[in-house]
């Protein structure tokens, strides 16, 4: 259905199963190892050969010679593919051709593929391929590239007279923040198994958006999309890193076709860092001006990020600033510069994650100048509607102020001393910080099918994926509640492009979009079952595996007979235009800064969020905490370190790319406020997955300043920058 009007009562409003903190339905399979990830289909795809890529050792230039004789002669080797013998491939759009020429566009790009009988043989032989290059100078420095950055795509967003209002503001800050390149650092590497049956290709491949990937692979291999099937039943994390198609999918497919045998190919951790995607670094200039009461008069947010030539993605780090705070004079723009580093792409909360690291600290700086409490500063500048469009476009729901107030109370904000360096605990200077969270709410098209069998079991099918977020669980909850069935009567099948086209996992749109398609299918199934009994579905009540109505009670199992199935779809409607839609929250952090070493330790952290109805408070909380952990990493440790001479990220494994470990996270909690958004979808929910990271790092950086009085504007805030 297309949704254009606020949603009235639905069968989910009873919240017997939906909105309950049920355990993950796929938990036992994951814990016991029965959940199969893309590289692990040993029985389903017997006899697969093993691939290993050889990554480019330069960032820019060309291959002048390749000697693969030693690799070809090595034990077990079946083939070596290079640009000299790789098949022609399509280009354009998001096609991901591999080994198409001698040109090197970025470090880590595949320059050869070795296929052998075993993984060890392939890896050994890959090391025997000799490649000679001719280097060219590349562009690896964002600050330098910024000068040639393009004007903003889609223009700049202006309102009022920003320059005049900023110049006339009684209190103002004009500060630049930089955020580094970051790695998705998901557990499961990119991995694919390819098998051809005639001209049909099946790929067991970790893809967050498998239907999009089918289109890109079809364009690359110049074949019809209908001949490609992607199976992606379990995905060991993605965070955006598995949105696009990379060498594992394309090269396993090409090699399998050439060999007439299935080929499996996983990227090594080192290959992932430079060969796939990352969150690009940003340089952000914030110009904020306010009056003596703290009311913002002018908001200016300029961001620049880089990407390879020809890549459309840019980090929209200034974008959320269009919606977060009121101010009559505004200037907001994102620009893109050309860099010859690995491809930049979406990483968890693209835009907000980097943007709020800057905006929320700059606002803290302004609050301090104006002598306003940082929580009050945010409350004062709340807005009930889209600041650019005015009252004509209200928020569908917005509990930013409630989140700030609730967090302030629970966290003990009144104990914060506004003057840095005055709170001591042994060798630690202690401080508290706050930051707002916002993440835009997206819904996208989705389809689903439900089938009720004669045993009263319901099967839900959509090509939606579960990247560890809980899709299997929440879709089972939606279907069970909609049909009045117990949760264990529902089986959910996901991650197969033969199933009705799901929305995939990305942008925090998955639960809402896929869930609404499942809901819509269940509503259609209810109609069919009611009709079978000669009833109008509005007169029928579905509960306890029965349909009650017209003075009768009938078991769904009997009504189903040989089985009944129905399809449903989610079609985004006018609601997303007439209402600004976003999830909100507030982060509170307390840190200690060691007085002798500058070492920073997180002591406590609390996130308070509002994201509409939670389909499952347990999986939602896990998402929120996971996001906050990402924020801790962004504030304190995560950075791809760019070698500006050779054009690569030099820390390219999890020993050198630091993410927070348990010892870094002593006391971290997330709570959600009650909220139901009837202008979102019939589920009345909003996006949850990426909300937790939005603003989390800024709260920590603000706490560091409150502890020790040092304002670091270059992330991550490591101890060398504090001394
Ligand atoms: Mo997300 S960065 O859309 O997985």
Structural domain boundaries of the chain?
11-35+444-571, 39-137+184-275, 282-442+577-721
434, β-bridge pairs: 588
Cα 348 to ligand 1 centre (Å): 5
Q: Is 184 in the pocket of ligand 1 (CB under 6 A)?
A: no
Structure-token match 């004009």, residue found = 174
User: How far apart are alpha carbons 304 and 284 in whole angstroms?
Assistant: 7
Nearest to residue 280, comparing CAs of 255, 252, 304? 304
Q: Is 208 in the pocket of ligand 1 (CB under 6 A)?
A: yes
Cα 184 to ligand 1 centre (Å): 10
How buried is residue 405: exposed, middle or buried, by Cβ count under 10 Å (0-12/13-18/19+)? Answer: middle
* 350 CA: nearest ligand 1 atom: 2
How buried is residue 613: exposed, middle or buried, by Cβ count under 10 Å (0-12/13-18/19+)? Answer: buried
Q: Is 506 in the pocket of ligand 1 (CB under 6 A)?
A: yes
How buried is residue 183: exposed, middle or buried, by Cβ count under 10 Å (0-12/13-18/19+)? Answer: buried
User: How far apart are alpha carbons 68 and 65 in whole angstroms?
Assistant: 10
E-state strands within 556-622: 564-570, 582-594, 600-610
Q: Which class is 282-442+577-721 in CATH?
A: alpha beta
Q: What angle do CA 433, 436, 441 make, to 5 degrees?
A: 155
Q: Is 348 in the pocket of ligand 1 (CB under 6 A)?
A: yes
Q: Is 469 in the pocket of ligand 1 (CB under 6 A)?
A: no
* 347 CA: nearest ligand 1 atom: 2
- From 348, 443, 466, mutation site for ligand 1 pocket: most ligand atoms within 8 A of C-beta: 348
pLDDT (0 to 100) of residue 11:
95
Cα 334 to ligand 1 centre (Å): 19
The interface predicted TM-score (ipTM) is 0.96
Same fold for the domain at 39-137+184-275 and the one at 282-442+577-721?
Answer: yes
Q: State the catalytic residues.
A: 690
User: How far apart are alpha carbons 410 and 412 in whole angstroms?
Assistant: 6
pLDDT (0 to 100) of residue 91:
81
* 243 CA: nearest ligand 1 atom: 4
pLDDT along the chain (723 residues), means of 10: 91 96 96 96 95 98 98 98 96 85 96 98 98 97 91 87 98 98 97 98 98 96 97 97 97 98 98 96 98 98 95 94 98 96 97 98 98 98 97 97 98 98 98 98 97 98 97 98 98 98 97 98 97 92 96 96 97 91 98 97 98 98 98 98 96 96 95 97 97 98 98 98 94
pLDDT (0 to 100) of residue 149:
86
Nearest to residue 431, comparing CAs of 447, 459, 411, 461? 411
Cα 694 to ligand 1 centre (Å): 13
User: How far apart are alpha carbons 185 and 45 in whole angstroms?
Assistant: 28
Q: Which residues have C-beta within 8 Å of that of residue 141, sequence separation ≥ 6?
A: 339, 642, 644
Count CB neighbours of 88 within 10 A: 9
Question: Do residues 110 and 98 touch, judged by C-beta distance below 8 A?
Answer: yes
Domain 39-137+184-275 belongs to what topology? Aldehyde Oxidoreductase; domain 4 (3.30.365)
Helix (H/G/I), strand (E/B), else coil: 537: helix
Question: Do residues 300 and 162 touch, judged by C-beta distance below 8 A?
Answer: yes
pLDDT (0 to 100) of residue 92:
72
Q: Is 238 in the pocket of ligand 1 (CB under 6 A)?
A: yes
Q: What angle do CA 170, 715, 408 make, to 5 degrees?
A: 60
Nearest to residue 398, comparing CAs of 410, 409, 383, 387? 383
pLDDT (0 to 100) of residue 310:
87
The whole-model pTM stands at 0.97
CA 183 to centroid of chain Cα atoms: 12
The answer as to CATH 3.30.365.10 being correct for domain 11-35+444-571 is yes
Q: What is the DSSP track for 232-292?
A: -S--S--TTTTSS--HHHHHHHHHHHHHTS-EEEE--HHHHHHHS-BBPPEEEEEEEEE-T
């Amino acid at each position: 259905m297309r949704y254009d009007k606020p949603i009235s009562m639905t069968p989910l409003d009873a919240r017997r199963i939906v909105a309950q903190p049920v355990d993950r339905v796929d938990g036992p399979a994951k814990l016991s190892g029965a959940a199969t990830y893309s590289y692990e289909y040993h029985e389903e795809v017997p006899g697969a050969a093993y691939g290993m890529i050889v990554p480019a050792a330069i960032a820019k230039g060309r291959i002048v010679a390749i000697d693969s004789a030693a690799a070809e002669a090595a034990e077990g080797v079946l083939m070596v593919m290079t640009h000299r013998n790789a098949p022609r491939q399509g280009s354009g759009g998001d096609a991901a051709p591999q080994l198409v020429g001698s040109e090197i566009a970025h470090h880590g790009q595949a320059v050869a593929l070795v296929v052998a009988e075993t993984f060890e043989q392939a890896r050994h032989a890959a090391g025997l391929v000799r490649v000679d290059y001719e280097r060219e100078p590349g562009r690896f420095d964002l600050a330098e590239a910024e000068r040639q950055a393009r004007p903003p795509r889609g223009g700049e967003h202006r309102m009022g007279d920003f320059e005049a209002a900023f110049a006339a503001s009684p209190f103002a800050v004009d500060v630049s923040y930089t955020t580094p390149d970051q790695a998705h650092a998901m557990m499961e590497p990119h991995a694919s198994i390819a098998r051809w049956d005639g001209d049909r290709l099946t790929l067991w491949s970790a893809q967050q958006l498998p239907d999009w990937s089918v289109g890109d692979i079809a364009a690359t291999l110049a074949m019809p999309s209908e001949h490609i099937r992607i199976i992606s039943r379990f995905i060991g994390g993605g965070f955006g890193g598995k949105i696009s198609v990379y060498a594992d999918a394309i090269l396993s497919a090409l090699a399998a076709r050439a060999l007439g045998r299935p080929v499996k190919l996983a990227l090594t951790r080192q290959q992932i860092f430079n060969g796939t995607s990352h969150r690009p670094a940003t340089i952000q200039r914030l110009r904020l001006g306010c009056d003596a009461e703290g009311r913002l008069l002018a908001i200016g947010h300029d961001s620049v990020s880089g990407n390879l030539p020809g890549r459309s993605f840019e980090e929209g780090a200034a974008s959320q600033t269009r919606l977060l705070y009121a101010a009559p004079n505004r200037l907001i723009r994102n620009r893109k510069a050309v860099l010859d580093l690995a491809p930049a792409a979406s990483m968890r909360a693209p835009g907000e994650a980097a943007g709020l690291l800057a905006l929320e600290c700059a606002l803290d700086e302004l609050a301090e100048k104006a002598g306003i409490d940082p929580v009050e500063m945010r409350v004062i500048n709340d807005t009930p509607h889209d600041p650019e469009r005015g009252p004509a476009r209200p928020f569908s729901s917005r509990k930013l102020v409630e989140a700030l107030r609730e967090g302030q109370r629970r966290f003990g904000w009144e104990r914060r001393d506004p003057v840095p360096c005055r709170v001591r605990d042994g060798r630690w200077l202690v401080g508290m910080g706050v930051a707002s969270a916002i993440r835009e709410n997206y819904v996208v098209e989705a389809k689903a099918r439900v089938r009720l069998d004669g045993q009263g079991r319901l099967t839900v099918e959509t090509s939606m994926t579960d990247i560890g977020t809980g899709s299997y669980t929440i879709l089972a909850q939606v279907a069970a509640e909609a049909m009045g069935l117990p949760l264990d009567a529902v089986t959910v099948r996901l991650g197969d492009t033969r199933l009705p086209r799901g929305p995939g996992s990305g942008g925090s749109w998955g639960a809402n979009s896929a869930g609404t398609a499942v809901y819509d299918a269940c509503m259609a199934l209810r109609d069919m079952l009611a009709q079978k009994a000669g009833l109008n579905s509005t007169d029928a009540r579905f509960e306890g595996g029965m349909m009650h109505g017209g003075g009768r009670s009938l078991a769904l199992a009997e009504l189903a007979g040989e089985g009944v199935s129905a399809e449903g779809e989610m079609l985004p409607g006018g609601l997303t235009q007439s209402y600004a839609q976003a999830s909100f929250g507030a982060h509170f952090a307390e840190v200690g800064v060691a007085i002798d070493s500058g070492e920073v330790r997180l002591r406590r952290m609390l996130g308070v969020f509002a994201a509409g109805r939670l389909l499952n408070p347990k999986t939602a909380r896990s998402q929120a905490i996971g996001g906050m952990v990402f924020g801790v990493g962004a504030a304190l440790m995560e950075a791809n370190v760019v070698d500006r001479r050779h054009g690569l990220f030099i820390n390219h494994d999890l020993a050198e790319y630091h993410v927070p470990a348990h010892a870094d996270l002593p006391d971290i909690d997330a709570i959600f406020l009650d909220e139901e958004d009837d202008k979102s979808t019939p589920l009345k929910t909003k996006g949850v997955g990426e909300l937790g990271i939005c603003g989390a790092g800024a709260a920590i950086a603000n706490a560091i300043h409150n502890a020790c009085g040092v304002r670091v504007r270059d992330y991550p805030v490591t101890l060398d920058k504090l001394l």
